[in-house]
């Protein structure tokens, strides 16, 4: 098994048109650009793309001058493999990329927990376990979840309420923000959770999409069946006062068998 890290730290340098539809075009464009324009550091157990940062962090102002938001997509479809150490690796990668040691807003998006379609209490238990383990490391961060229906949101809060902070926000798809589901509005209000909108698709990156991106640019061909995506971290750094995006990108951790 080989661990792959792909740092797409170039989104604000390669803007795409804004759309009202949820999609992952921004991520795919950044991924293609990264694979096209960088070299790799390949060892027996790890593959780093690029081999070295393509640019030094340009965030030279004081930390208080920036607002840092991050969204962690827990993408592995096998919830039994959701591992606190593996997911915490995402934040270590983010700190190395941005040189900033904290996050102002953090959203968790758990694979399979979407619109109350999950019938697995074990999967929700895994999400609650991850939440209780990781969120204490962010005592001053606004915490939230994405794409939870009212039933799952209510169940998650019930599972964590005695041992961890509850979500302060819950994100819904941009396509639903004009008319959010009434039951979700009711549940969010009951728990004092703010509803916000996001433009992302729930399954942010599939093994097939990652394999196809590799096969366009790398000398070796990948079979999507040999690719597992551990997580995708989306981050944005905005300069206060100027409303300027100072840095934006995606970091991907995957496994090759």
Give the pLDDT confidence of 216-233 residue by residue, as tens digits: 866 567 888 899 999 999
List C-alpha distances in Å: 236 to 11, 41, 71, 126, 246. 9, 26, 9, 27, 8
Beta carbons of 248 and 7 less than 8 angstroms apart: no
Furthest C-alpha separation in the chain:
54
Residue 61, in any domain of the structure: no
Question: When comparing pLDDT for 214 and 74, which is higher?
Answer: 74
Residue 129, in any domain of the structure: yes
| Whole-number Å distance between alpha carbons of 51 and 43 | 11
Question: When comparing pLDDT for 252 and 41, which is higher?
Answer: 252
Place of tokens 């959701």: 82
Residue 139, in any domain of the structure: yes
Among the listed residues 249, 216, 210, 212, the one whose alpha carbon sits nearest the alpha carbon of residue 229: 210
Query: Under DSSP, is residue 140 helix (H, G, I), strand (E, B) or coil?
Result: coil
Average pLDDT over the chain, rounded to an integer: 85
pLDDT at 41 over 90: no
Domains: count for the chain: 1
Residue 58, in any domain of the structure: no
Residue 60, in any domain of the structure: no
What is the span of the domain harbouring residue 218? 2-53+66-256
Residue 201, in any domain of the structure: yes
Residue 59, in any domain of the structure: no
> Is this structure's pTM higher than 0.85?
yes
């Amino acid at each position: 098994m080989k661990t792959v890290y792909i740092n797409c730290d170039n989104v604000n340098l390669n803007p795409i048109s804004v759309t009202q539809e949820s999609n992952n075009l921004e991520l795919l464009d950044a991924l293609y650009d990264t694979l096209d324009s960088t070299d790799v550091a390949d060892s027996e157990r790890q593959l780093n793309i690029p081999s070295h940062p393509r640019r030094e962090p340009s965030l030279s102002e004081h930390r208080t001058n920036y607002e840092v938001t991050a969204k962690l997509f827990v993408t592995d479809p096998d919830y039994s493999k959701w591992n606190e150490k593996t997911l915490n690796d995402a934040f270590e990668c983010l700190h190395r990329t941005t040189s900033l040691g904290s996050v102002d807003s953090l959203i968790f998006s758990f694979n399979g927990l979407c619109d109350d379609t999950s019938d697995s209490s074990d999967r929700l238990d895994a999400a609650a376990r991850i939440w209780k383990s990781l969120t204490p490391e962010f005592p001053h961060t606004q915490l939230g979840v994405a794409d939870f229906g009212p039933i799952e949101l209510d169940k998650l809060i019930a599972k964590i309420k005695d041992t961890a902070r509850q979500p302060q926000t819950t994100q819904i798809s941009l396509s639903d923000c004009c008319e959010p589901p009434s039951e979700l509005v009711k549940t969010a209000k009951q728990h004092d959770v703010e509803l916000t909108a996001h433009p992302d698709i729930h399954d942010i990156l599939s093994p097939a999409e990652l394999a196809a991106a590799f096969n366009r640019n790398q000398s070796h061909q990948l079979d999507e069946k040999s690719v597992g995506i551990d997580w995708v971290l989306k981050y944005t750094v905005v300069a206060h006062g100027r409303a300027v995006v100072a840095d934006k990108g995606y970091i991907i951790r995957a496994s090759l068998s």
